[in-house]
Amino acid sequence: MFLFSKYFKLKLKDLLLLPSFWIVLFLLIRFYGITNPPLEVSHNWRQTTGLMVARNFVEVNNNIFYPQIDITSGKSGIIGMEFPLLNYLHYLLALLFGYEHWYGRLINLIVSSLGIFYYSKIIEQWTNRKTALYSTLALLASIWFAFSRKMMPDTFSISLAIIGIYYVNQYLKSNSIKHYFLGILLFSLGILAKIPAGIYMAPLFMVLVSKRIDKKFKLIISFGGACSLLLALLWYFKWNPYLESQYGNWYNSGVSLKEGFIEISRNMKAVLKNFYFNTFQSYILFALSMAGLFLLFRKKEKNIILIVLSVLLVFIIYIIKSGFFFHHHNYYIIPIVPIFAFLVGYFASAIKKKSITIALISFGVIEAVANQSHDFRLKESKLYKLRLETIMDSFSSKSDLIAINTGGNPQQLYLAHRKGWVFESEEIVAQKNIKRLREKDCKFIVLDKHLTSERLALESVFEDKDYLVYQLN
C-alpha cells in the first residue's frame, strides 16, 4: 500500500513524474494473462523445468537442497541447479492454497517490481529524480517487461541483489545494523537464486577504494560481501558437483575462458544482437543508452563511470564463461539491463527540451512493449498440449514412466504430469532406445504427431489427431 497511499492527493501531471506510479501501472498491465499455462513461444521449456522443481517440492520431496525435475531418464531426477529459492516460494504458496502453475509468475512479478522500485531510489540517490524516472521507464519496458512475469529466476535474482544494495547503502548512511543484515541477506539470496546477480558485487566492493568511508565500514561491508560470495561458491561449485556425481544431472556450469572466448568470437553477430536489440527490444532505447555512455565520459563522471565499467567488466567475464548459451538465449542479457537503463535515464535527463525527451522515451517504451506483446498471447495451435494429462490419466497412473518425442523441451512431460524421458523424434523410434526404455521400466511412448509421422510396431492404447500413445512391457 505504500506505493498507492500518496497518489490520491496528487494531480495527474505529478503522478506521471513518480517512478512508483509507472511501476504500479506496469505491474497491473502484466497481470494480463498471468494465469496462462507455460505455452508462450519464448522459453516455455525453461519455465516448465522450474515448475517441475516446484511441483516436486509439493508432491515428492520438500528438501530445498535436493531439487528434482521430471526428466528422470530412469533415475531420481535430482539435479544440480541454481538455488531453487523461487521454486521453494512457489511451493510454500502451494501449501497454503494448493498447487497452481502461475504462482511462480506472480512471485517473480511482485519481487521484480519491488526490485525496480528500489532501483529507482538508488538512481535518485546517485543522481536526481529525472534520471531515476527515465531509467525506471527504460527498465520497465526492457526485456524485463516479459521476463519478470515468467517462472524463471533471472529478473527475480537481480531484483533481490538490487534491494540488497539499497539496504547496504542505507546502512552506510544510518549505521543501522538491521539495514546491514537485511542488505547482505537479500544480496546473498540474489546471488544464490542465480549467480549472474554477482556482477553487482563490483560496485559493492568499490566501497574499499572510497576515501570518504571509514575503515570500520569498509571491513564490515567486505565481510558481508565475502560471506555472500562464499555461499554462492559453495552452492554452485561444491554442492552442485556433488549432486551431479551422485544423481547424474546438472544444468550448465559454463565453459573455460578459452572455449568461451572462441565461441563468442565466432558468433559475434548474435552476441551483439543480444545488446543492441534484446536489451530493450527497442532500437531507440539502446541508442539512448549509447548516447548516455558517451555523455558520462564527456562530463567525466568518474564515480559513476567506475561503477558502470566495473559491472560491465564482470559481465564480460560472465559472457565468455557462458559461451554458446549467451548468444543463443536472449535472457542471458538480463543482468546488465539495469546499467543500460540507467544510461538511458542519464542521457534523457540531460536533454534540455522536455518535449524531445518525452517523445524519445515514449516512442522507445512503445516500441519495446510492442515487440514483447506476443509473449502475452497463446497460440491456439499449441493449446492441444493441455489435454495430455487428461489423455494419460484415462489409461495410466501418475507413477507410470513415459517417453515423449519433444527433443530437449520438457514442456509436454510436465503437462503430462509424469516423469520419464524426452527424445528427438528420430531417436525415440530407434529399436535400441525402445529396448533401453523397456529395461528402465518405461510404460508408455507418447508421440506428438505434430512433430513426427512415424509409427511403431507396438500396441497403441490411444490415438487422435494430436497424439499416438504406445504401451511397453
> Under DSSP, is residue 194 helix (H, G, I), strand (E, B) or coil?
coil
Whether 168 and 224 have beta carbons less than 8 Å apart is answered as yes
pLDDT tens for each residue of 133-152: 999 999 999 999 999 999 99
The pLDDT assigned to 6 comes to: 55
pLDDT in tens, 410-465: 999 999 999 999 999 999 988 899 999 999 999 999 999 999 999 998 989 999 99
For residues 225 and 181, the answer to whether their CB atoms sit within 8 Å is: no
Sign of CA dihedral 134, 137, 139, 143: negative
Sheet with 460-463, edge to edge strand ranges: 419-422, 401-404, 442-448, 467-471, 460-463
Task: Give one DSSP letter per residue of 294-330, joined into a string.
Answer: HHHHHHT-HHHHHHHHHHHHHHHHHHHHHTHHHHH-G
Is residue 205's pLDDT more than 70? no
The ranges assigned to domains in the chain are 29-375, 382-471
Q: What is the model's pTM?
A: 0.93
Q: Percent of the chain having pLDDT more than 90?
A: 79
In the DSSP assignment, the letter for residue 250 is B
Distance between CA atoms of residues 425 and 428, nearest Å: 5
pLDDT band at 5 (very low <50, low <70, confident <90, very high): low
